[in-house]
Amino acid sequence: MPSPARDSRSNDELIRANRGFYESLWADAHLMDPQRFNTWPLVRELVATAPRRLEVAPGLRPRLPLEDTCFIDLSHAALRQLRARGANTAHGMIGALPCASASFDLVCALDILEHVADDEGALRELARVAAPGATVLLSVPLHQHAWTAFDEFVGHCRRYEPDQIMTLLAQHGFTIEQSAVYGMQPKSSRLLELGQWFLVHRRQRAMWWYNRVFMPLGVRFQKPLQWRDGMGDTQGVDELLLRCRFSPSD
């Protein structure tokens, strides 16, 4: 179950924790092309009719094409590598996006909502910048009872119950059209604990293995996404990728 200490952290504390973890992580990592992820078949289909695109907090694992997509991230290390590859970038956070209202046809924000204290504020910002009818791709971890030390370590603030995230999205104009089981987190708790220890105590060695072995293997053995209508069955599912449609209420 989530710890009381986690719930009591302020937004500023969460921002500092996430900035510290990911700035350090991306400083030692390599940019991976969007075409290498199992999200690419869907993305390739969507970009054909979505010339105005935004991806929030991609780090060095962007899912949208580097060309003609606006990338916003808190990590300067990630932004430097994205810019070096010709991407359009801006420094910012999901709660205060430096973008005009109703300016994007496709918005991608994967593995983000669970990191911010004010997830409703984050969704309000996504709704503000999304054009009517825009496709919005989100991913969220599920089930509070599945909380582990790894969630704490990587800066998660919460896990969502399925009904909770459905209601929250609907309140901000997002309808879940499809979903797919998502994520590459190892199922072995022992392996996760070992990875955390090395990241803390043997960071350079850990990043060598991450960049050259674990991440390439994880990408190579990704399973194709199996899409189903709506939320689908979430029993035993650790994380979901959600394809949503934005329809403003006014």
41-78: per-residue pLDDT in tens? 999 999 999 999 999 999 999 999 999 999 999 999 99
Residue labelled with tokens 């990875």: 195
* pLDDT score recorded for residue 249: 79
Which residues, given as ranges, of the chain have pLDDT below 50?
A: 1-8
In the CATH scheme, what architecture does the domain 4-184+222-246 have? 3-Layer(aba) Sandwich (3.40)
Q: Which of these, 22, 28, 74, lies nearest to 202 by C-alpha position?
A: 28
The H or E element containing residue 17 is helix 11-27
Question: What rounded mean pLDDT belongs to the chain?
Answer: 86
218 phi and psi, to 5 degrees? Answer: -60, -40
**What pLDDT, on the 0 to 100 scale, is given for residue 107?**
98
How does pLDDT run across 31-41, given as a tens digit for each residue? 999 999 999 99
- The predicted pLDDT at position 78 comes to 93
pTM, two decimals, is 0.84
Instruction: Encode 59-98: b = buried (16+ Cβ within 10 Å), e = exposed.
Output: bbbbbbbbeebbbbbbbebbbebbeeeebebeebbbbebe
Q: Which residues are bridge partners to 228 per DSSP?
A: 179
